[in-house]
Structure formats: C-alpha cells, structure tokens
Amino acid sequence: MNAPHPAPAARQTLYREMSPLHLTPLWEVLHALVPPQPASPCVPALWKYRDVRPFLMRAGELITAEEAVRRVLILENPALRGQSAITQSLYAGLQLILPGEVAPAHRHTQSALRFVVEGTGAYTAVDGERTTMHPGDFIITPSWTWHDHGHPGRGPAGAHGNEADQPVVWLDGLDIPMLRFFDAGFAENSPEKSQRVTRPEGASQARYGHTMAPVRGDAPYGATSPIFNYPYARSREALHQLERTTPLDAWDGWKLRYVNPLTGGAPMPTMQPFLQRLPAGFDGRAWRQTDGAVYSVVEGAGTAYIESPQGPLRFEFEARDHFVVPSWQALRLQSESGCVLFSFTDRPVQQALGIHREERLA
C-alpha cells in the first residue's frame, strides 16, 4: 500500500527548512531542466539596416574608434537585453570605422568573425598580416591573436569622393557568451596602436588557399583556419558554380559552408559560417535546427517566415539587414527577386558534444 501523500503545506515546510543548506527538490524543476524539446528563451528579431545605420553614423560623430577601442552597436536579442548576446551562445554587433582611424591592437580568448557589410578601404591585421576589407568578405580573428583595424583613407569624402574614403561597416560575430559560460574570457591590450606588418597581404591565402599546405608548420592557429580572409568574389563564384551544376535544394536553395582547408571542418572551433543563394521565385520549405542562426543579407531581398513559441512571424528583409532565428524555431525562406545570405551558428560546438539536431519539415 502506498503511503498517503503529505499535505502541500508539509512539502513547503520541507523546502523552506532545507533551503539554508542550498538544497532544491529536483522534482519541482525537472520539467524545465529536461524539456521535451529545446525551449530557447531567445526570440526572433530583425534589424533593418536603414534604421540602424543612422545610429552608427551618430556614434561615429560622438566617439572615436581609438577611444571606444571597438566602436560597435551590439545586436541584442530582445529577450536577452543587457546580456550582450544575440543567442545564448553568440554575440553579434555592427562595427564602424571611419577614414583615418585605427581601432587599437588587442587580443582575447574569444574567437571572432567579421563579415563586411558596407564600404571599402579599411583593413584588418592579424598577427602581422593585413587584409583589405571588401563587402561580402568573411574574415577570421583566431583566439588569442593580436589584431587591429584601420582605415587609411584621406578623410570624409564629398558626393564625388573616392570610394576608399567612405565609412566601412562590418558584422562582428563572437563566442563571448559561450566563453562567459565557461568563465574562460581573457583579454590583453597591446602597447602599440597598430601591430607591425611582417607578412605581405595575401600571404596566408598563398600558403593555404589552393588546396595545398606547407609540409611543416601547417596549423599556425591550432583548430582555426590558417586563412583569415575568405574574399566574397571567390565565395560568390563558388555559389554560381553550384547553381549551374547542382539541383536546387528545396529548403536551402544553394548553400555552402566555409571550411578550414587543412581539415575540411569548420574554419573556427566555436562558429560555423555559411553562404547561400536563393534564386528568383524561390519558395522554400521549413526546417529547424538546434543551433540558433544569425543572418546577414548580402544581396537582394526576401522573406523569412519563423514559427516561434510566441506565434508565427514574417520578416521582410533586404540587403544589409540582419536577423536571428533561435534554436528549434522553424524557418522558411522565400525570395521573389533572388538573394544571397551569410549566416553563422555555434554548430561546431554542438557537433563536438554530439547534441546537434536538424529537422526538415515537409
């Protein structure tokens, strides 16, 4: 015979009396700790570039890149305000650098990616090598490498000014929340504003960008790709080749993942970037994944349909807009004119832990 259930008041007395010993009953929270499916606290969000850009330019008038160290407007998830996070594991922000400025050199344990949104003429330097930034370029800053950004333009340009004298804006993607979870964040500022250039531009591409690698010393950044700039011109041509030679995928259009040429795996140990092309008239099927995704619209326009716990959402996006799709919330993409999308997620970590799941919906 089962013992009679104690009165609720007796249970509450038990909980209250054991609380000073920092004890909590699992049965009261088990359903939240181990839910039947992922239940992200994050919500989908869209940042229209035409709305964001004026605030970036105002920031450029009020604080210098050197004073700010990094002049960035953080894209905060509306459900995570104050946490400097776009998902529970990822950070995203839009960084501005103006002609004649330098964002001073530092290094940190967090890995960073840059995806150039607007402008030409700025550079990123990583461990003694500079690379010029062009719209659509995907650039890596490996963990604990010295890096600075600069814009050697002559100054603000007029209506007919040189293209290299224009502001440059890029998307920053970092694993800051992930390293914060592990209490493993460190940073160090360099005594020099700009690091000394020790290798010519394009040196890493020449050594590792042709499906070949040096016989010795072939992993200068450990698990991170030895190529730190993936130019958009080459990536876009790869998409064109895919479009010409392979069938259209009903969920993704044509989608490629950036890779580490030494391993064939993700170019960064904590983040996986992608580039995809949706042709004109694309009406995709819905899918969901456990890795929340941050999107940057490179070309064209379209619509993202998201099934969130708060109800269905529809985002109309165009070039330079950004949006986030949280974990396990179904996404369907549509484009009447065609578009190109860059995105990144924390997939390498989920795959390393054996927890990544993806479901393509009929």
Evaluate if residue 65 carries a pLDDT over 70. Answer: yes
pLDDT value of residue 160:
40
Instruction: Say how many domains are in the chain.
Output: 1
Alpha carbon distance, N-terminus to C-terminus of the chain: 49
CB burial of 226-260 (b: ≥16 within 10 Å; e: otherwise) equals bbbbbbbeebbeebeebeeeeeeeebbbbbbebbb
Q: Residues 299-349: pLDDT tens digits? A: 999 999 999 999 999 999 999 999 999 999 999 999 999 999 999 999 999
Is 20 within the bounds of a domain? no
Structure-block tokens of residue 113: 């990616």
Would you say 314 and 305 are in contact if contact means Cβ atoms under 8 Å apart?
A: yes
Handedness of CA 89, 229, 51, 298 (dihedral sign): negative
* pLDDT tens-place string over residues 236-283: 999 999 999 999 999 999 999 999 999 999 999 999 999 999 999 999
For residues 2 and 37, the model is more confident at: 37
Identify whether 22 is part of a domain: no
Task: Classify residue 14: in a domain, yes or no.
Answer: no
- Transcribe 212-277 into DSSP letters: ---SSS--TTTTS-S--EE-HHHHHHHHHHHHHHSPPBTTTBEEEE---TTTSS-SSSS-EEEEEE
Cα distance between residue 347 and residue 61, in whole Å: 38
Token look-up 């030494």 returns: 262
Q: What is the pLDDT of residue 162?
A: 63
Spatial strand order of the sheet with 229-230 comes to 72-74, 91-97, 168-174, 112-118, 138-141, 229-230
Q: Is residue 114 part of a domain?
A: yes
- Determine, yes or no, domain membership for 161: yes
Q: Would 31 be classed as within a structural domain?
A: no
Q: Which residue has the tokens 């000073």?
A: 20
Asked if the structure places residue 33 within a domain, the reply is no
Cβ atoms of 330 and 311 closer than 8 Å: no
Q: What CATH code is carried by the domain that includes residue 120?
A: 2.60.120.10
Q: What is the pLDDT of residue 184?
A: 96
> For residue 281, what are the domain limits?
39-360
> Can you give the pTM of this predicted structure?
0.93
pLDDT-derived band at 219, boundaries 50, 70, 90: confident
Q: Is residue 32 part of a domain?
A: no
